[in-house]
Structure 1
Amino acid sequence: MDDPNPTRVQEATQSTDLDVARDFLAEAYAGQQWSADQTRQPFSFRYTAVGDRSMTLRTIRFDGHLDGVMTPSEDFVVQWTTKGTATIGTGDDQVRMEPGRPQLWPQQGAVFSYDDYDQRIVQVNRAALETVAGERGTAPGALRLDHTVRPDDRALQVWRSSVQLISHTVMDRQASPLLQAEMGRLGALALLELYPVVSASLPADLLLPKNSHVRTAVEYVHEHAHLPITTADVASVANLSLRALQHAFQRTVAMSPNGYIRHVRLDRVRDALLAGDPATTNIAVVARHWGFAHAGRFSASYAEQHGEYPRDTLRRS
């Protein structure tokens, strides 16, 4: 029977030849300087990939030692091991994998070393993730995730539940293209919950170690500005009291937490107006989408922040 989804990716290979396995993986991931050695146990290798152009789920079993350099990638790759040992990066940037705990690959690439491992991978296409992130206000071409973040328990639970559902669906050869696409969207949403988007507009001071709590709070605001978040939510995420949060925001960004949330949302309105069609875009609808119900106050706040009224921005789109 013909595959109902011609865009499906489905691949499987295995080998007991160490060099063949190394070369296969190096080619699949555009790797550099990859080397492999046999360990105490007999060598065995197996690889599977299933999904579509937006997202693939992959498994790798490599009974041996493998190291090399992963080159920069446009895709976003989350991987975790179920057995074996693995490290990514070097020096202060080195991450030692914990079995079962997902880790985002650095977008800029990294060195790695693996031994006798089973690995699970979710690979999300950049264009697919940008589409979903764009709905949250991230400008095209500005999407970058912070791989150094250690996801909290809630984000991990969302991720694991999503991956389990996605896996059951994409393994079904009869799954429709529409259902497959919905799974890709679910994977993108779960990934954005797992790792925060790094805002290109963060003040330089927030990159200092002493301001790590405030940076967490600011990144949370940028990532969740489309949701009804409160100052209490931001304080909880940053592990700060409300009073400490207020002082920290005044010191680093010169405004209150509520003011900062409003500031980010006004930026998102501007992005939407610049990307809109003047003939069809309704400014009031865009404003309400970002939480501004009072037209007069919204227009005044927008003009104060951006130096022009919303209608002027829309005319220039």
Structure 2
Amino acid sequence: MVDPLMDETEGFGAPATVRFEVAGRSPEDAVRDLGGLYGGDHWVARPTDGAFDYRYTALGDTEVTIRRAQLRGSLHGSVPTGGDHVVAWIGAGSAEVERLGERYPLPRETPVLLPPDHEYTFWTTDHDLRLVHLDREFVRRVAATRTEAAEQPLQFDDRRQPDSETARRWQGALTALARSLRVGGPESTAWYAAKAMAAEVFLDAFPPQHDHLPAVLGHPRNSRLRAAVQYVHDHAADAVTVAELSEASGLSVRSVQESFRRVFDVSPLTYLRQVRLDRVRADLLELDAQAGTVGDVARRWGFAHLGRFSASYVERFGEYPKQTLRR
């Protein structure tokens, strides 16, 4: 096994080189090595046919790394939020993910975004994964050159499946990344161009969304409710009232309340609180722990009573806001 190496000698302000490999034949070593890379909890590895081995390699820099994860056996565990954006390409084996109570298989031979903003649990068997890790701040800087909206925290739909043309472009980006590393290394001009292109394709494959409205709102019968929900998302920091939602949607006050109950099983104001909590979490994940406080972010999104806010946050995300800030 080779210890992870991050070479910070490239010069002030330059991203550090990332280069490491871990490998072995013991399930216990796999849990230690692979779980340690992702800060995961309760990882379990087992042989599937009497044999077990694993190999994980990474090369690039702290903005983008290309990685390959191979394992003969099964692997199961949980991954916390707050790390890089990770796009996986499953070449062999099987993988499933569960997040927010939903469990689903990951498709093979297509770019898959692993859940970026929620803790998730995974199961894999005899896998061969090509992974690209993209630093969140690097992606935000690239996105800022495309739209002013990128100044806000970026959110992505990890259930989105890119079309065949975008999947082909992602394969091309992977090829360009690997070639630039092979020819010039992570300090070369070719590498810088290749990783910028990879970020561009990533943003095309998984377009950032400040708030992804639930798909159920696309049904014609929910068109007026959609207007009310959009109003909530557009004015989440304001003192929104049910009367305002009624005016925005053309529904009566009673119909607004009944529609939220019918579709989301919560009141309009509970839905507003959930959106605010999501906004707080997104801000905390982007915030430098030394540059701001939880209270400042909470108040920005309309939470005046910090004790009740903290309790609601724990109920929704399973951790205290200070824990999110320290990620």
- Provide the TM-score with structure 1 as the length reference: 0.61
Listed as ranges, the matches of 1:83-94 within 5 Å are 83-89=92-98, 93-94=102-103
Return the alpha-carbon distance in structure 2 between the equivalents of residues 180 and 5 of structure 1.
17
What is the aligned-residue RMSD (CA, Å)? 2.8
Gapped runs of 5+ residues in structure 1?
A: 216-250, 253-317
Q: Which moved more, 1:126-135 or 1:181-190?
A: 181-190
> Partner letter of residue 155 of structure 1?
T
Could you tell me which of 24, 41, 48 is aligned with 2:57? Answer: 48
Could you tell me which of 131, 138, 160 is aligned with 2:171? Answer: 160
Q: Deviations over 1:283-307 (max 9, x none)?
A: xxxxxxxxxxxxxxxxxxxxxxxxx
Note if contact 2:184-2:191 (Cα within 8 Å) is conserved in structure 1.
no
Over 3 Å counting, the alpha-carbon distance change for 1:208 and 1:86 in structure 2 is: closer
* Structure 1 counterpart of 2:37: 28
Q: What is the CA-CA distance between 1:182 and the residue it aligns to?
A: 1.9
* Structure 2 counterpart of 1:58: 67
* Structure 1 counterpart of 2:76: 67
> Partner letter of residue 143 of structure 1?
L
> Is 1:139 aligned to residue 146 of structure 2?
no
Over 3 Å counting, the alpha-carbon distance change for 1:146 and 1:26 in structure 2 is: same
Over 3 Å counting, the alpha-carbon distance change for 1:114 and 1:175 in structure 2 is: closer
Residue 124 of structure 2 aligns to a residue whose secondary structure is strand
Note if contact 1:9-1:52 (Cα within 8 Å) is conserved in structure 2.
yes
- Provide the TM-score with structure 2 as the length reference: 0.59
Residue 139 of structure 1 aligns to a residue whose secondary structure is helix
Listed as ranges, the matches of 1:1-317 within 5 Å are 6=10, 7-89=16-98, 93-107=102-116, 108-137=118-147, 138-172=149-183, 174=185, 176-200=187-211, 206-211=213-218
> Partner letter of residue 126 of structure 2?
D
Q: Deviations over 1:176-227 (max 9, x none)?
A: 4433222221111010011111134x7xxx4251417999xxxxxxxxxxxx
Residue 39 of structure 2 aligns to a residue whose secondary structure is coil
Over 3 Å counting, the alpha-carbon distance change for 1:175 and 1:54 in structure 2 is: closer
Return the alpha-carbon distance in structure 2 between the equivalents of residues 69 and 195 of structure 1.
23
Q: Deviations over 1:222-272 (max 9, x none)?
A: xxxxxxxxxxxxxxxxxxxxxxxxxxxxx99xxxxxxxxxxxxxxxxxxxx
Q: What is the CA-CA distance between 1:37 and the residue it aligns to?
A: 1.1
Residue 74 of structure 2 aligns to a residue whose secondary structure is strand
Q: What is the CA-CA distance between 1:74 and the residue it aligns to?
A: 3.4
Return the alpha-carbon distance in structure 2 between the equivalents of residues 125 and 78 of structure 1.
12
Over 3 Å counting, the alpha-carbon distance change for 1:133 and 1:175 in structure 2 is: closer
Q: What is the CA-CA distance between 1:145 and the residue it aligns to?
A: 1.1
Return the alpha-carbon distance in structure 2 between the equivalents of residues 130 and 171 of structure 1.
27
Q: What is the CA-CA distance between 1:41 and the residue it aligns to?
A: 4.2
Q: What is the CA-CA distance between 1:168 and the residue it aligns to?
A: 1.3
Q: What is the CA-CA distance between 1:73 and the residue it aligns to?
A: 2.5
Return the alpha-carbon distance in structure 1 between the equivalents of residues 108 and 9 of structure 2.
34
